[in-house]
Structure 1
Amino acid sequence: MRMWLYRSALGLLFLCMPWSFCTAADLLVVVSNVPVENYRDVDIAADYYGVGTEIVHVNTASDIQHALYRMRDPNLAGVIIHADALPKFSEPRVRAALRRGAAAIPLLVTGVTAKTDAAILQSWSRGALRQCTAPEQVQPGSLLLGNTRSLLHELAGLKIPVTNPPACVFVRADDSHSEIVAAYASGDSPAFVRIATGPQELFFATDLGKPDLANLNSAAEFFRSFSPLIASMVFVRYAAGESGWHAPAHYANLTIDDVWLTQPYGHLDFQSLLEEMEKHNFHATLAFIPWNFDRSEQDAIAIIREHPHRYSISIHGNNHDHTEFFRDTDDGRSTPLTDEELAARLKQAVARMEQFRMRTSISYDRFMIFPHERFPSATLRFMKRFNYVGMANENLVPIDRQQPADDAFFLHSPTTFFENFPGVRRYSAEEAAVPEYLVAIAAFLEHPLLFYAHHAYFARGANVFNATVDFINHIDPEVNWTGLGNMAQHLYKMRRRADHDFDLWTRTADFRLRNNSGREQTYYVSKDENFADPIRQVTANGQPITYSRQANRLTLILKVPPGQEQHVRIEYGNDLNLTATDVSKPNLRINALRRISDFRDLVLSRSMLGDTVVALYYGKLNVSDFPLYRVLLVCVVAGAGLLLAASYAYRHVHRKRKTARSVPTSQ
């Protein structure tokens, strides 16, 4: 016992030094003889919300006494008891230990199965639950979630898929005062319930399977496999409240790739889309290819410039030339360009966008959308060096790296797994409709909701995205539709500390923090930092401030007066010289490709036949084997040849007729 206390104190001291970034709330997890994977979901949830956990194994009377003693800790946010440990405790003694004056901290009983003793279940639930029986439906189905927004937030009232049926479903008493949080297959088969008896809130959850996040291959697979986490994520978020990591606001965005400023751009009519954005309340970012910096047209410029709350501009590669940041080798692999080439292209992209800004008076965000969703890891290193604020991609794994075998990779968005640079996941709006459960789970996890499309998406009308917008605005009425730069400046989470100040964990080097309270707030800021590049300076509202280097973290303290905002920038040293960077376009292949892309988007889109040709190309051909510029170049050359042949034939026939008319008729 003394050795356990000594180790706990030593571990706490180690965690808190030299920077005060300890958890503001803790969970007590009580288990019996169960494998660690049986409460892996609790570890994942506690880590996600920044809540400390203490695991207590109860095998002896001394263990039970220690668990009851720890339940009285005033810093506890909640207690989780595995169902196998329930028989070891007196239910009244546990309730007494959880009381905090007139209130009580919540308790979750997890891992309930059909083998859980019915009498114990009835006693602990105060008669609300009779037993837990095997479900009638044994095929994977769905969980129907309850309607309590304060508990389920964006998930309230929706269905999410389940990969495995629950171990059992609860049978409630006829006069049960329990609330169904989640039910399997139908509302009559509860798998997760809440029971309020006076000030005490009790949660009961059946065994919904074991999470295996580290072996998933895609974000879509992660969201389909979320159900084993639902009880622990909901309970930990609810119990921790402000003392757990939470986003101060939520953000959403629609990005339209490849467009430049001409009205209309293919099927995208800027004015018509603006009218839909005003009616349905959303925001569109144009992923702008820097090569187009000098060819914007006034009609489109005026619409974008006069409506910054609806339109914004971000960077989309540099030339968008299929081999933007890598080369394809003969064996079918892709290799990154040299560091010198990568740096030059990323510098040129910024220099061209600065020219765009000066020519149009439209600001842009130094936020990257990679062409074709492919990029090597070194691009992230250079973007960080050149003070890009972030990037978004459907796939966040560089072409030269492997997906991390880490629970947190899909659970978090943004991530900084690669080169310590923030990457945010986005989802295609073009193919099939994005499942509502995916959007809702991402919103519940407080991920930015980023969607993307191309101009052809709007062939069905400027209102094609409205249904997705309306759903998001329904499940999260306070969501902020905004540009990618503004979104990136709010990619941080906060939690209230025991001293009532805040910890702040930022993913980006450029962030804005507003204190909406009525008193000055102190924020203890931490950023994961590899210090690969020298830090030129750290400023708050333009004024230099001090910071500390703590292992692989940059830390600083901000005091923000009530009602005021601090704009913090961590600037890295680099050799970016915008005035000395060449923005010219001498490459004939790239220039031809961009013109042919214009022909595809602006000419072929005018007819159904043209749209069909483009759709056939992208839907049926192997784009890597038959790049569009080659296909269209062949078509253009062949078309030009046919025109020349037709012209020659016409002139030849016309000459023969003219000659025939000029020959005198014989007498």
Structure 2
Amino acid sequence: MTAVLTLLSSPDSAVSDNALKKLATFLGVSCVEAELEQFAEAPPAAGSAVVALSSQTLRQGFVGGVTEADARDFFCRRAAKVLVYGFKASPEDARLLQALTDGAVSGVEPTQNSDRRYAFNPVLDRLEIPLAALSWETRETRKASTFTEAAGGSTLIPLVSLNGKPLLALWRTAGTEFFLLADSGIADIDAWVAPSASVRDFYPTLLPPVVFLRTAFRQACWSNPFRSANFVIDDPLIRRRYGFLKYETLLSEARLNGYAVTLGFIPFNHARSHCKVAGFLCGHLDRFSLAVHGCDHTGREFGALDDALLVHKARLALERMCQHQELTSLPFDPVMVFPHGVYSTGALKALKQTGYQAVVNTDATAHPVDCAQHPLALRHLLDGAITAYHSFPLFLRRYPAGVFDSAVDLLFGKPVLLVEHHGYFKAGYEPLASFVRNINRLADGLAWVPLGRALTAHALFRPLGPGRYAARFFTPAFQLRNPAAIRASFLLEKSEMEGGVDHVAVNGRRVDFTVRSGVLACEAELGPGEACRVKVAYRETPTTSCTLSLRYRGFAAARRYLSEIRDNYLARNERLLSLATRLKNVAQGARCRP
């Protein structure tokens, strides 16, 4: 399959053309720009070309007696797939649409309602698009348009609908597939995303062109053949029961329903686990794992801007987790979960220096506290992991409120990472089992595994030729698996800062590597079904020592014990919890008064 998009551009649609080009390149599709006249003069590509152009660009070809029907026949001779986008509610575009679709589409109409529902056709399931049969609702004031279908029915396939009317539609004729996108707006993946904003704000102009590109190029795009998922529970101690959580019941349900859970364990509690319960958990390491949840779990402990303090906290957390492992025999993954999602860019640098593999943060808190100096662009949030800060991977997780956002994660090749607290199990374990079943319907072969395994095996692949792949990985330690049924070579790539890498090893053997323009590259070769371990080792960085005051340590201890009283006693009594919440608010108000 060709992996080249021929973009026929013109000054009238330069903004949308450029946005589509960047989006295609981001997904792994090469993009060649040409003018319509150049494309017409070039030898036909045996009908295999994939072409995209705006309706304005297409209309420029209507000179010298050329008609709309001639334009359709021209593309049928030269292209297998054609995207035409950015139609206007004008007589000219109405005639163009009627000619392209044999009258199935009669024109374009603006969407008047600001309450909008975007729906994805179930047929997309056959194209391995996880959004198939899903929808999401939003309120927006942006101008949008949809197609008007002619009366009497047709074979037009609305791939994406807006308020029940086609937004992205597919029309097949004479062996060519015409993809018609009513909107001219295409998301710019280099647009900055404000901390108060969300990737969801970009869905209306992001997902329709992505559906086209994924449909047109399939596996030629960056994709993840080893999809994984994990459910993280933050905070609980390892006791027979913590709040509404019982580990014996949880693991029984996990095994019965095929999911895996990770406990966001607070290192402060390293000497407080019950060994009998820990021993039970050791027997379920295929379904259960530990991650590092802060250090003392104070509100902004990793939102500090003091590099020495951040390194001290990161190292102390690891030391405590190692002590916990010695006491209980429970292993842990060197993956950080920031308390309350608060972090600074310096925190990621500290984690990288002290040997962590990754960070997992809730999607609502993707931005660091110093994001004004270090903003995130849409491309950072869509990538397999955010690597904008010190090339250290930050993965985003979501609360189990709905499956649509998880489907978008799968669309971009990300792991499905979910999070909750013990209170989620107040109504029992069936809500989680039901949500897992809904998630599993999004993609075949979704593997629920411990968090560390999900992240260190995560990569995006695309073919470079027969028996050769590019693979982008994200964590310093990476488990590469060959997705092909034949022996294959791999160009391995990772976002990395120049000058910081000491060496790269494959299965313990050092290999040649380069770091250019922020990308580390090395090579590996595997037989069918084989796997290997890739490790990126960093040069040691001198750090400054730091100590925590007795006052701080007393505050951290009090916070932990009070949190446990809340979770184990107050949370299970609505009246007591309500009273405690009111008292807390009164105390905070008094503290805020001068």
Establish whether TM, by shorter chain, passes 0.5: yes
Q: What amino acid is aligned across from residue 87 of structure 2 in structure 1?
A: V
Residue deviations 1:314-342, cap 9 Å, x none?
Answer: 0011122335245xxxxxxxx523x2222
Q: Which of 260, 281, 289 is the equivalent residue of 2:258?
A: 281
Matched residue, 2:377: 406
Matched residue, 1:384: 352
SS in 2 for 1:365: coil
Q: How many residues align?
A: 573
Contact 1:220–1:438, Cα closer than 8 Å, also in 2: no
Any unmatched runs of 5+ in structure 2? 63-70
How far the C-alpha of 1:554 sits from its partner, in A, is: 1.4
SS in 2 for 1:123: helix
Cα distance in 2, alignment partners of residues 140 and 610 from structure 1: 40
Cα distance in 2, alignment partners of residues 501 and 471 from structure 1: 35
Matched residue, 1:558: 524
How far the C-alpha of 1:265 sits from its partner, in A, is: 1.1
Q: Which of 401, 406, 409 is the equivalent residue of 1:442?
A: 409
Matched residue, 1:245: 222
Cα distance in 2, alignment partners of residues 621 and 251 from structure 1: 44
Q: TM-score, normalised by structure 2?
A: 0.87
Matched residue, 2:339: 371
How far the C-alpha of 1:587 sits from its partner, in A, is: 3.8
Distance 1:324 1:118, change over 3 A: closer
Contact 1:193–1:203, Cα closer than 8 Å, also in 2: yes
Residue deviations 1:321-366, cap 9 Å, x none?
Answer: 335245xxxxxxxx523x2222222112112211222222221100
SS in 2 for 1:442: helix
SS in 2 for 1:155: coil
Q: Which of 72, 85, 100 is the equivalent residue of 1:110?
A: 85
In the TM superposition, 1:282-297 aligns within 5 A as 282-297=259-274
Matched residue, 2:28: 50
Any unmatched runs of 5+ in structure 1? 1-22, 59-63, 99-104, 327-334, 628-667
How far the C-alpha of 1:220 sits from its partner, in A, is: 6.7
Q: Which of 411, 419, 425 is the equivalent residue of 1:458?
A: 425
Q: Which of 381, 385, 391 is the equivalent residue of 1:420?
A: 391
Indicate the larger mover: 209-218 or 31-40.
Answer: 209-218
Cα distance in 2, alignment partners of residues 562 and 622 from structure 1: 63
Contact 2:106–2:148, Cα closer than 8 Å, also in 1: yes
Matched residue, 1:545: 511
Distance 1:599 1:519, change over 3 A: same
Q: What amino acid is aligned across from residue 289 of structure 1 in structure 2?
A: I
Indicate the larger mover: 316-325 or 368-377.
Answer: 316-325
Matched residue, 1:236: 213
Residue deviations 1:265-320, cap 9 Å, x none?
Answer: 12111122223323332221100111212221134213321112221100011122
SS in 1 for 2:129: helix
Q: Which of 533, 537, 541 is the equivalent residue of 1:571?
A: 537
Contact 1:41–1:232, Cα closer than 8 Å, also in 2: no
Contact 2:481–2:530, Cα closer than 8 Å, also in 1: yes
In the TM superposition, 1:41-440 aligns within 5 A as 41-58=19-36, 64-67=37-40, 69=42, 72=45, 78-87=50-59, 88=61, 90-98=71-79, 105-115=80-90, 116-125=92-101, 127=102, 129-134=104-109, 137-148=112-123, 149-151=125-127, 153-161=129-137, 163=140, 164=142, 166-172=144-150, 174=152, 176-186=154-164, 189-207=165-183, 209-211=185-187, 214-217=191-194, 221-325=198-302, 335-337=304-306, 339-394=307-362, 395-402=365-372, 404=375, 406-429=377-400, 434-440=401-407
Contact 1:267–1:455, Cα closer than 8 Å, also in 2: yes
The structure whose Rg is larger is 1
Matched residue, 2:66: none
Q: What amino acid is aligned across from residue 397 of structure 1 in structure 2?
A: H
Cα distance in 2, alignment partners of residues 390 and 238 from structure 1: 32
1:468 correspondence with 2:435: yes
Q: TM-score, normalised by structure 1?
A: 0.78
SS in 2 for 1:122: helix
Matched residue, 1:637: none
Cα distance in 2, alignment partners of residues 300 and 273 from structure 1: 13
SS in 2 for 1:106: strand
Matched residue, 1:496: 463
Q: What amino acid is aligned across from residue 393 of structure 2 in structure 1?
A: P
Distance 1:66 1:39, change over 3 A: closer
SS in 1 for 2:249: helix
Q: What amino acid is aligned across from residue 472 of structure 1 in structure 2?
A: I
- Root-mean-square deviation (CA), in Å? 3.2
Distance 1:131 1:323, change over 3 A: closer
Residue deviations 1:44-97, cap 9 Å, x none?
Answer: 420321212222234xxxxx14355276289x7621121123341733232222
Cα distance in 2, alignment partners of residues 347 and 389 from structure 1: 13
Q: Percent identity?
A: 23
Distance 1:553 1:211, change over 3 A: closer
Cα distance in 1, alignment partners of residues 526 and 54 from structure 2: 43
Q: What amino acid is aligned across from residue 167 of structure 1 in structure 2?
A: S
Contact 1:384–1:421, Cα closer than 8 Å, also in 2: yes
Contact 2:384–2:460, Cα closer than 8 Å, also in 1: no
Contact 1:489–1:511, Cα closer than 8 Å, also in 2: yes
Indicate the larger mover: 407-416 or 254-263.
Answer: 407-416
Q: What amino acid is aligned across from residue 305 of structure 2 in structure 1?
A: P
Q: What amino acid is aligned across from residue 592 of structure 1 in structure 2?
A: A
Residue deviations 1:373-424, cap 9 Å, x none?
Answer: 1122212112112221100112232212325262313323411111211111
In the TM superposition, 1:17-32 aligns within 5 A as 25-32=3-10
How far the C-alpha of 1:611 sits from its partner, in A, is: 3.4
Contact 2:111–2:146, Cα closer than 8 Å, also in 1: no
How far the C-alpha of 1:514 sits from its partner, in A, is: 1.2
Contact 2:234–2:419, Cα closer than 8 Å, also in 1: yes
